[in-house]
Structure 1
Amino acid sequence: MPSQTSLPAVFQQVHRHFLEQVVPLWEGPGWNPDLGLAYEALGRDLAPMPVQRYRAMACARQLYLFTALGERQGAAARAKTLFSALDQHFRDAVHGGWFYSIDAHARPLDRSKDLYTHAFIVFASAHYLGSVRTAEAQARLDQALAIIFERFSTGDGLYWAALAEDWAAQGQGPLQNPLMHLAEAFLAVLQVRPDARCEAALVALCDAMNERFIDPQHGVLMEKPIESLGNWFEPGHQFEWYYLLKASPLLRTHRLCAQLENTFAYSERIGVENGHVLAMLAADGEVKDPTRRIWAQAEYLRALTMRESAAGQVLEQLLHLQAHYLPSGGWYECRDGKGEVSRHDMPSTTPYHLATAYSALSDYAR
């Protein structure tokens, strides 16, 4: 029997918490059966927060979650419902693509088109295709990719962050976070089928990120192109990129991966405080927002599984996540700079981060 503080034993405890206390929130109180969508968030009383909107991105993340749950009872049916809901509620039949959000009555609310949303639709559709292998899933993935390439591409390896309902420019240039999730989406496509266009686009995207987003003095990946005023660095995103690059046979030899490898220790030193990943910093380490968000802790943990001889650190961080962010009945979304819980709701988007982190840990802890 493994020690109760061994990595396999602790992972088993944390994963059981996920399956028995996190996932059921979205099978039960977090589910709106009338719309076939998850509510955006639950309160600590496990009741849905007052409904102001439903986002296509949140629907896509829930689609990924229930697809990843595989043989769990009801998961396949829930994934099928969410797959249909994306088109039923968010598809723009006039201009193509998917709206950002709908209101509480399922009417289009924010009709703009953003890369973050479309990247997650590609990501979730690819995983769903890998599970069901239907012509419908194949067609959805093809449609979403066509929109990425034909509407969002800037022609230099990067992509617009947001466009208007009719695809007109809104002055919103490329931003790190949606580009990272686009890279994640391209990787998901390549896991389920050969796709030369996605492969070439992925390499070109990483080339452009290395050229346009790496701070020349400190080597960290910034949230905006390096010439932008008021720029900042998010350690959680740095760790997320690191995992995606290191886990990919295609990208682990890319110079962007080498760059983030070289600055990993610096990112830890300035961006991790007593085991907590901080939200926002300047490239020189000045803390701009000390909030500790659960997704950033999960991404740091996932990144550590790609580090050499880091088993002890992985166990330490997993115990830290368990102690500080995974109470009975759910999770703590944020802690403030003093360590106090600062958000008491539980968004429907967070289980995606936990699921991807636990997937990496499952392989690592074997």
Structure 2
Amino acid sequence: MVDSNFSTASALRSHYQDIILPIWRDAGFNQNVGLAYESVAADGKTPLPPVRYRAMACARQLFVFSLAQEWQHADALFASLRHYFQDKQHGGWFYSVDADGKPKERQKDLYTHAFVIFACAEYARHPHEKQAQQALALLEETSSLIESNMVDGTLFSSVMTEDFSGKISGPTQNPLMHLTEAWLAAAATTSQAIFARRLDKLISAFAGTFVDEATGCIAELPLNSDNNWIEPGHQFEWLFLVESSQHPAFEKAGMQQALYRAFDFVRRTGVDAQTGGVAAALDMHGTLTDSTQRIWAQSEYLRALAYHREAIVRAELPLQIARFGARFLTASGWIESQAVDGKIVRAELPSTTAYHLATAYATLS
């Protein structure tokens, strides 16, 4: 029986196991194509008509069911990932396929490739050797492809053409953060020294390109880019990655110290004092530019609180769990996005959100 108050970590996990996972195992999974629908309605039962299926969404679902050790469903998702999205001609992964499973958006983006690595790192814990080895092979193949085909200065392009011959978009924060997350997961799964070397190089280059000296915050675009901005949720996400991994490259690059300043900065400027709701975006000076509260940012706030080095801050976690549960969870699922006054901005339930909830809840005691 799910705790309708959702006020403890145990209640959050019960809600996830009893309400959220079944959505994507049952009504949210299109058995005909072997992929999760991109979204279901707020009732948690009605799939929205598919226009496309994204490789990143499939990879996130693969991670979710691998983490849950629901291997039969994970096997189906792993097979679909390779069948629909792997580009046999040019290498790498298509961004999306259409409703019939044919390549739709064929560009190669770093965000997608990072999530393939991340999902394969978890799927590689499979109890059967064959599946584990297939996951490890894809993990390394995709990592090597990024290094050979997506290099952009000292970092990596965010988006490239289908055949990797041209750059569509240069380095941006979010794909590089998820590549960091993916290589941390790969290092934990494989214990191979090559991932430590990859991380050392990536983190050093990233810090010099994105960390704002004035606030400690990580910008969404390279520093000094026009119309740059800060997302509070990403400051919390980075702090968790730094503290949970304790990878020495973070401290060497000064990111650990910077992110504690960033944590304080965005808590003052981007977290609603009454509800604990995390705003979507600030400008580089901390002025609120988008007050919308999305559930992923709230889940990252929980992770950051859980891993904060100061006990007085960690002590705030129970209150924030209760606020989160009351504000964002429902009997049929969750609220994806809402305004400060509680007006729902996005009513449907995207398949990608389960990843955020799974990773957040795993850190809570």
Q: With the length of structure 2 as denominator, give the TM-score of the two structures.
A: 0.93
TM-fit CA distance, 1:194? 2.2
- Give the structure 1 partner of residue 110 of structure 2: 115
Q: Structure 2: how far apart are the matches of 1:311 and 1:244?
A: 16
Q: Structure 1: how far apart are the matches of 2:238 and 2:125?
A: 23
- Give the structure 2 partner of residue 11 of structure 1: 9
Residue by residue over 1:298-356, the C-alpha shift from the partner in whole angstroms, topping out at 9 and shown as x without a partner, is 00100111112134311011001100000111000001133212111000000000000
Root mean square deviation of aligned Cα: 1.7
1:67 matches 2:66: yes
Residue by residue over 1:253-301, the C-alpha shift from the partner in whole angstroms, topping out at 9 and shown as x without a partner, is 3411121123321121111113010001112111111110000000010
Q: Structure 2: how far apart are the matches of 1:62 and 1:147?
A: 23
- Give the structure 2 partner of residue 21 of structure 1: 19
CA contact under 8 A between 2:60 and 2:352: conserved in structure 1? yes
Task: Could you tell me which runs of 5 or more consecutive residues in structure 1 were left unpaired when the two chains were aligned.
Answer: none
After superposition, residues 253-292 of structure 1 pair within 5 angstroms as 253-254=251-252, 255-274=254-273, 275-292=276-293
1:103 matches 2:98: yes
After superposition, residues 218-257 of structure 1 pair within 5 angstroms as 218-251=215-248, 253-254=251-252, 255-257=254-256
TM-fit CA distance, 1:155? 4.7
Task: Could you tell me which runs of 5 or more consecutive residues in structure 2 were left unpaired when the two chains were aligned.
Answer: none
1:184 matches 2:181: yes
- Give the structure 2 partner of residue 330 of structure 1: 333
Q: Per the alignment, in what secondary structure is the counterpart of residue 256 of structure 2?
A: helix
Q: Structure 2: how far apart are the matches of 1:115 and 1:127?
A: 19
- Give the structure 2 partner of residue 130 of structure 1: 125
Q: Per the alignment, in what secondary structure is the counterpart of residue 342 of structure 1?
A: strand
TM-fit CA distance, 1:56? 0.2
What amino acid sits opposite 1:59 in the alignment? C
CA contact under 8 A between 1:207 and 1:256: conserved in structure 2? no
After superposition, residues 344-355 of structure 1 pair within 5 angstroms as 344-355=347-358
What amino acid sits opposite 2:212 in the alignment? D
Identity of aligned residues (%): 40
Q: Per the alignment, in what secondary structure is the counterpart of residue 273 of structure 1?
A: coil
> Which stretches of structure 1, 4 residues or longer, exceed 4 Å deviation after superposition?
none
Q: With the length of structure 1 as denominator, give the TM-score of the two structures.
A: 0.93
Q: Structure 2: how far apart are the matches of 1:162 and 1:326?
A: 34
TM-fit CA distance, 1:145? 1.2
Q: Structure 1: how far apart are the matches of 2:354 and 2:63?
A: 10
After superposition, residues 169-180 of structure 1 pair within 5 angstroms as 169-180=166-177
* Bigger mean CA deviation after superposition, 170-179 or 324-333: 170-179
Residue by residue over 1:55-104, the C-alpha shift from the partner in whole angstroms, topping out at 9 and shown as x without a partner, is 0000000000000102xxxx110101111111100111110111000000
Residue by residue over 1:3-31, the C-alpha shift from the partner in whole angstroms, topping out at 9 and shown as x without a partner, is x99x9x81111110110011110011100
* Bigger mean CA deviation after superposition, 97-106 or 333-342: 333-342
Question: Structure 1 residue aligned with 2:29, among 7, 31, 48?
Answer: 31
Q: Structure 2: how far apart are the matches of 1:14 and 1:146?
A: 38
TM-fit CA distance, 1:207? 1.3
Q: Structure 2: how far apart are the matches of 1:357 and 1:174?
A: 26
TM-fit CA distance, 1:249? 2.5
TM-fit CA distance, 1:142? 1.7
Q: Per the alignment, in what secondary structure is the counterpart of residue 107 of structure 1?
A: coil
* Bigger mean CA deviation after superposition, 343-352 or 330-339: 330-339
What amino acid sits opposite 1:40 in the alignment? E
- Give the structure 2 partner of residue 316 of structure 1: 319
Aligned residues: 352
Q: Per the alignment, in what secondary structure is the counterpart of residue 330 of structure 2?
A: coil
- Give the structure 1 partner of residue 192 of structure 2: 195
Residue by residue over 1:136-176, the C-alpha shift from the partner in whole angstroms, topping out at 9 and shown as x without a partner, is 222111211111111122251x1110000010223411000
1:81 matches 2:76: yes
TM-fit CA distance, 1:219? 2.3
